Chains A and B, each alone.
Chain A
Amino acid sequence: VTVQLVRAGGRSIDVEAEAAEDARLVAGAAAGDRRMFAALYRRHLDATVARLTRMIGPVAERDDLVQQIFLDVHRALPRFRGEARFTTFLHRIVVNVAYEHLERVRRRAGRTRSFDAGDLDAIVAPDASPEARARHRQELARVFARLDELSPKRRVAFVLVAVEGMALAEAAAVLGASPDAVKQRVREARLELVAAAHEQKEPS
C-alpha cells in the first residue's frame, strides 16, 4: 500500500487513510445511515464551499447551492461504485452545480454582475487592516468581473487548474474531459483574460 503524504495548510494528510475513511462513511451513508452521511459532509463541507466560492463568487445563493450539492450527493450515493475517490465524485457534483449556476446567470442577466462591498467583505481576510481589506475587496471585485466574462467551461477549468493548482489529470477526471481538452480550456481562459485586461488598459 502506497501512502501519500500531502502538505495542506501546514499539516500532513495521509491521502490513503482519508480515502479509506471516506469509503467507510460512504458505505454507511449509502445504506441509509444519516449519521454517517452527516460525518461525510462535515468532512468535506469547508473544501466544497471554498471551491464553489472560487468558481462562482460569494453569491447570495451560495448556501442554497451547497445544500443542493449535498442533496445531490446523498441521492447519488447508492450509484457510487467507488471506481474513483469520493472527493473526485464530490468535485464532479460541485462542478456541475457551478456550471448550472453560471449558465443560469448568463441566460438571465446576459451581462456581468457586480458584487457589493458586503458580499466581498465576507471573503477578505478578517484580521487585515481596513486599508488592506478595502484593497483586497477591490481586487476581488475586478477578479470576479473578469471571470464573469469567461464561458463557464473555461472559467471552471481555469479555477481548478490555475487557482487551485489541481493536476491536469485530476481536473480532467473531475470535468469529464481529456487532459488535453482541459489544458486547452485553461490556455484559452488565460488568453481571454489577458486580452480583456489589455482592452481595459488601452481603450481604443
Chain B
Amino acid sequence: MTTSDERAEEIDREIVEPLQRARVGLDDLGAARLAAGIEAALDRAAAAPAPGGQRRAVRVAGLVLGIGAAAAVAVVAVRHAGRPAVVASPAPGATSAPGSTPTVAAGPRAPALLAPYVYSGAGADAQTLDATGRLVVPAGARVRAAIGTRVRLTLVGPGAVSVVDPAPADGGIELLVERGRLFVDYDGRGGGILRVRSPGAVTTVVGTLFSVEALDEGTRVAVARGRVRTEAVGTMHTIVAGTAWSATAGALDPIPADVAEALADHDASPPPPVGEYGIMRIDPGPSAAGAPALDGRALAGLPIVARVPAGSHVLDGAGGRLRLDVGGGSTVRVDRASELWSARAPAPRRTALADDGTRSAEDAYLAAEAAMRDGTREQARRALEAVVARDPGGAHGEAALLDLARLALEGGDAARARRHLARLPDPVRDRGLAEAAHHLRCRVEVTLGDDPAAAACLLAFRHRYPRSSHDAEALAVLASVTRACAAARPLLEEYLRAYPRGPFAADARQRLDGCASRSAP
C-alpha cells in the first residue's frame, strides 16, 4: 500500500466515517419544530415587506411588526394577552415619532439604541425615555428599555449600561454593563448573537432570559431560560437554566432567590407599546399611599414615567380610580393634586349591558367584558356574539371569539370551543392575541383527547412562543400526549432541565423511571 493510500484511509477512518455515521437528520419532533419555525419566519417576513431582496432586509423584517395597529387594538391586546409578543418602539437604526411608522435606515449598520419605555424612581421625567446609547440610573431607580424587537432589558440602579459602538459585523448586538443589575430577555430567532460585557466576563447569548450583574465583588450571571456561555479569565462556562455563575464562587449554583424574583418580574412586565403611544407620568400622592396600578398591573416606584399605548386605561390608586385617556404623542400627568389620590375620585364610567344599536365595537366589547365579569354565562355569550357581529374580522371581533371559546371550554363544551376557534384566522391578525389563541387551541385539542392534533399544536406553540409563560405547561402536556417512551423521553428530560422544580417535575421523573424500567432487559 502506498503512503498516499494510507493517508486516504486514515482520513476516511478518522474524519469521513464518524461524520457519515452521525445522526445529522431530524426526528419527527425536530422536523415539526423546524417546520413551525419556518412558518413563523415566513409570517414575520410577510408582515414586514423586505426591500430589494437583501438579506439584511430580512434580518430586520421582524422589527416593524404590527406597527399599524390602532390604539384600540393595543388596549385590547394588553387586556387579553397573557404574554404578548415582544414588540418595541424604535428599532435599531430606526427613527420614529409617536404615531408614525418607523423606517429602517439604509446603508451601513447604524449602532443599536436603547429605547427606554418605563422609568421609575428619582429623576423620572420625559427625557429619561429618550433613546440613547447609554443608560444610567441612580440607586433606587429602575428602567426598562428595548433594543429593536429582540432585546428587552431592565436595569436596576445604581447602574449603567451602554451599547458597544460600532456594532459587531455579524449582525449581533453587544452591550457593556459598567455597573448595576441587568435583566434581559433576548429573542435570537432573527439571527445574530447578543454579547454582554461586564467586569472580567463576556457572556454570549443566542436566545434566552438571563441576568448579568456587575457587583462590587465581580460579575454574576444567572439564566432562567435557555443557556448562555460566559468567558472569564480565559475559561468558558456554560450556564444553563436555573443556575447562576459568579466570579467569586467560580462555579455554578442555583439562582439566588432575589435574582430569580427579579428575572420573573422582568419576564412578566408588559412589553413596550406598539403603534401610537403617549407618555404617562405619575407623581407620588400627598400621603405615603401604596403604588397605583395601571389596567390591573401594579406600578412600582413613584415617580414613574412610561410610554403607554394610546387609548383608554384604568388607573387604580389609593383613593380611587381614574380613567386615563392617552392620546398619541400626548403626555398625561397625574400629580399630587390629582383625583387619583382623593377618596372622592369618581369611578370610571360603566357601560350599560343593553345594546342600544349605536355603540362602537369598542363600547360593545366593554359591555361584553362587563357581562363576563358581572353577568351570567349566557349574557356574556350573547354580548360577545354581538361584538363578533359588529366587528367581524376586526380586533374586537377576534378578541370576542377568543373569549367565546374560552367560555365554552370553561363550560365543558370543548367541541363548541373548537368551533369558535375555527372562526378565527390562524394565526389571528391581532398579534397581541395570537399567543393566547394558539394556547387555547392546544388546550381544546388536549381536552378533546385528539393526541396527534394536540402534539402538533403544542410543538408549533413552543416553537412560535419559546418565551411564553405557558411554556412549562405546554412542554409537560406535550410529553404526556406523546405516548411512546422513545419520543417522550427527550421532552421529559428537557422539562426537568428547564424546570427542575416545576409543577410537573415529579410526574416527569416518575414517567422517565417507568420508561427506563420498561426498556431494561
Chain A residues at the B interface, C-beta cutoff of 8 Å: 34, 37-38, 41-42, 45-47, 49-50, 53-54, 58, 60-61, 63-64, 66-68, 70-72, 74-76, 104, 107-108, 116, 122-126, 136, 139-140, 142-143, 146-147, 159, 162-163, 190, 193-194, 197
- Decide: B53 and A75 in contact? CB cutoff 8 A: yes
Residues on the A chain within 8 Å of B258, using CB? none
Q: Are A190 and B19 in contact (CB under 8 A)?
A: no
- Produce 1/0 per residue, B1-43, CB < 8 A to A: 0000001101110111011111111100011011101110110
Whether B10 and A45, one on each chain, are in contact in the complex, defined by CB atoms closer than 8 angstroms, is: no
Does B199 reach chain A (CB closer than 8 Å)?
A: no
Q: Which of B34, B37, B45, B58 has the most CB of A within 10 A?
A: B34
Per DSSP, chain B at the interface is helix
A-B contacts, 12 of them at CB < 8 A, read: A37-B42, A41-B35, A50-B26, A53-B22, A67-B41, A70-B38, A71-B45, A72-B55, A107-B170, A108-B168, A125-B21, A197-B14
A64 to B10, CA, bound (A): 34
Residues of A within 8 A of B193 (CB): 61
Residue of B nearest to A78 (CB): B53
Look across to chain A and name the residue whose beta carbon is closest to the beta carbon of B44: A71
A126 vs B53: C-alpha distance when bound (angstroms): 40
Decide yes or no whether B257 CB sits under 8 A from chain A: no
Q: How far is the CA of A47 from the CA of B26 in the complex (A)?
A: 9
Chain A neighbourhood of B20, CB < 8 A: 163
Question: Is B176 among interface residues, defined by CB-CB distance under 8 A?
Answer: no
Digit string of B470-505 for contact with A (CB within 8 Å is 1, else 0)?
Answer: 000000000000000010000000000000000000
Chain A hits for B35, CB < 8 A: 38, 41-42, 45
The answer for the CA separation of A63 and B190 in the assembled complex, in Å, is 11
Interface string of B31-74 (1 = CB under 8 A from A): 10111011101100100001001010010000000000000000
Q: Does the CB pair B50–A75 fall under 8 Å?
A: yes
Chain A residues near B169 (CB-CB < 8 A)? 104, 107
Q: Is the CB of A46 within 8 A of B39?
A: no
> Min CB distance, B216 to chain A, in Å?
31
Tell me if B188 counts as interface (CB < 8 A to partner A).
yes
- With contact pairs A61-B206, A63-B37 given, residues A147 and B26 touching in the complex (Cβ less than 8 Å): no
The reply to whether B170 and A46 contact each other, CB–CB distance below 8 Å, is: no
CB pair A123–B10 under 8 Å, yes or no, is: no
**Within 8 Å of chain A (Cβ to Cβ): is B102?**
no
Residues A143 and B19 in contact in the complex (CB < 8 Å), given A46-B31, A71-B41, A194-B11: yes
Residue B189 is within 8 A (CB to CB) of chain A in the complex: yes
CA distance A45 to B38 in the complex (A): 10
Closest 9 pairs between A and B when the two form their complex, measured CB to CB: A139-B18, A53-B24, A50-B24, A67-B41, A123-B22, A194-B7, A50-B25, A60-B206, A46-B25
How distant is B101 from chain A, measured CB to nearest CB, in Å?
22
| Interchain CB contact (< 8 A) of A108 among B11, B39, B170 | B170
The chain A residue sitting closest to B45, CB to CB, is A71
Assess A163 versus B19: contact at CB under 8 Å? Given A75-B58, A194-B7: yes
Report the minimum CB–CB distance from A92 to chain B (whole Å): 15
4 more CB-based (< 8 A) A-B contacts, given A70-B42, A72-B58 = A42-B35, A64-B191, A140-B18, A146-B14
Contacts of A136 in B (CB 8 A): 18, 21-22
Contact across chains for B15 and A193 when beta carbons are under 8 A apart: yes
User: In the complex, which of the residues A67, A140, A194 contacts B19, with contact meaning CB atoms closer than 8 Å?
Assistant: A140
Residues of B within 8 A of A49 (CB): 24-26, 30, 34
Once A38-B35, A194-B11 are accepted as A-B contacts, the answer to whether A45 and B18 lie under 8 Å apart by CB is no
Separation of A70 and B43 alpha carbons in the complex (Å): 13
A125 and B23: CB pair below 8 A?
Answer: yes
Minimum C-beta distance from A150 to chain B (A): 10
Query: In the docked arrangement, what's the CA distance between A124 and B45, Å?
Result: 34
B39 → chain A, closest Cβ, in Å? 7
Residues of B within 8 A of A63 (CB): 33-34, 37
Per the 8 Å Cβ criterion, residues 175-221 of B in contact with A are 188-191, 193, 206
Chain B residues positioned under 8 Å from A139 (CB to CB): 14, 18
| Complex contacts, A193 vs chain B, CB 8 Å | 11, 15
A100 CB to nearest chain B CB (Å): 9
User: What are the residues of chain A within 8 A of B95 when measuring CB–CB?
Assistant: none
